[in-house]
Amino acid sequence: MQLSREDLLQAYRKMRMIREFEDAVHEEFSAGNIPGFVHLYAGEEASGVGVCMHLDDRDAIASTHRGHGHCIAKNCDERGMMFEIFGRKEGLCGGKGGSMHIADLSKGMMGANGIVGGGPPLICGAALSAKTLKTGGVAVAFVGDGASNQGTTFESYNLAKVWNLPAIFVVEDNGYAESTASTWSVAGSQVERAKGFGMKSYEVDGHDFFAVWEAAREAIEQARNGGGPSLLHVKLNRYYGHFEGDAISYKAPGEIEAIKAAKDSLMIFRNRVSEAGLLDGAAMDAVDKECREKIAQCVVEAKAGAMPTEADLLTDVYTSAY
C-alpha cells in the first residue's frame, strides 16, 4: 500500500511535532517551570505515529507514563497538552493530571498512566466494547519493556486472545527497564511470549516509520476484521533519561549521542523520502519551522495561563454514563 504525499507530510509533521514538544518540555522542566514528574518520548516518534496513523476517533489507545508522543500521534491538542503539563486550568484535564495523566476521550486517548502495566486491562475493556457494539473500532495498548513483565499485561494478553478481542499490544522496548538493561530485567523474547498466548506477533525497528506502519497496518486490519489480537515488539531508543533529572549513569559515555547520530527516526524518514523523490527537503523544512513556532507559542500561552481555583477541586470527581 502506497502512502500519498499528504500522508507522508502528515507522518513527518506528527513526528516533528512530538520532537519539538518534548525538547521544549525538557528545557522548561530543566528551568524549574514545570511542576510534577516528566518522562519524555523523544527518539521514539516513529513508533507512536506509525501505529496511530491507522486509527481514528472510534479507536482507543492507552498509554504509559511516557505519554506525550502517543497523545500527539492520536491527535490530542498540543496547546491543551502544554497547559496540562504546566498545571493550568485550560489543560486537557483541567490542570489536574499533569504529564502522567493526560487524556482526551473524544480522541480515543484513554490516558497516560502512572501505573506500570496499567494500560492493557483498559484496552481490553475498550476492545470488548467495540466488539459488542460492532463499531469496527480497535484498541491499542502501548507498554514499555518493563511493563511486559507485569501480571496485568499477561492477563490482558490471555483475555484478549480467549475473547478474540480487536486489541493490539505495542511493546516499546528502549533497551532499559527504567535504569536496568532489559537484557537483564526482561527475560525472553516478546515475540515468543506472544506466540505462547497464541497471538500473531511482529518484531520491528522502531526507528523506521515505514516498518512500524506496515506491521501496524497488518495487525490493525486483522483486529478490525475479527481476527483477534496481535503484538508488536518495537525496538527503539529514547534520547533523554528515564525521567527528567535522571543522571543516566547506567548508560555508557557517548551512548545517547551515538544513537542520535545513527538512529534518528526523523532523519531516517527524511533521507528515505528524499532519495525516493516522494518529498523534497524544502517541504519538510517548512514543517520543521511550523512545528517549532507552534510549540513555542504553546509554551508562551501555557506559562501565562490561569491556575485551577479552589472551586475546581470538586469538579470531575464523578462521571455519569447516562
Q: Quick check: is 112 in a domain?
A: yes
Q: What is the pLDDT of residues 153-209, one digit of tens each?
A: 999 999 999 999 999 999 999 988 788 887 777 767 899 989 999 999 999 999 999
Answer positive or negative: Cα dihedral of 74, 76, 82, 86.
Answer: negative
Reduce the DSSP state of residue 7 to 3 states and report it: helix
Q: What is the pLDDT of residues 263-298, one digit of tens each?
A: 999 999 999 999 999 999 999 999 999 999 999 999
Q: What is the pLDDT of residues 119-135, one digit of tens each?
A: 999 999 999 999 999 99
**Amino acid 321: pLDDT:** 63
Contact (CB, 8 A) for 81 and 72: yes
Q: Quick check: is 313 in a domain?
A: no
Q: What is the pLDDT of residues 45-73, one digit of tens each?
A: 999 999 999 999 999 999 999 999 999 99
Percent of the chain past pLDDT 70, that is, above it, reads: 98
Q: Quick check: is 311 in a domain?
A: no
Q: For the chain, what percentages of helix, strand and coil (3-state, to nearest 5) are there?
A: 50, 10, 40
Question: What does the mean pLDDT of the chain come to?
Answer: 94
Angle between helices 45-52 and 265-275 (to 10 degrees): 60
Q: Quick check: is 309 in a domain?
A: no
Question: What pTM value is reported for the model?
Answer: 0.95
Reduce the DSSP state of residue 81 to 3 states and report it: helix
Residue 95: pLDDT band with limits 50, 70, 90: very high
For the residues 238-252, what does the mean pLDDT come to?
88
Q: Which residue has the cell 484498541?
A: 139
By residue range, what is the domain housing residue 239?
Answer: 5-304
Angle between helices 151-162 and 119-133 (to 10 degrees): 20
Q: How many domains does the chain have?
A: 1
Q: Is the pLDDT of residue 104 over 70?
A: yes
Q: Quick check: is 315 in a domain?
A: no
Q: Quick check: is 312 in a domain?
A: no
Q: Is the pLDDT of residue 35 over 80?
A: yes
**CATH code where residue 226 lies:** 3.40.50.970
Q: Quick check: is 319 in a domain?
A: no
Q: Quick check: is 310 in a domain?
A: no
Angle between helices 209-224 and 45-52 (to 10 degrees): 30
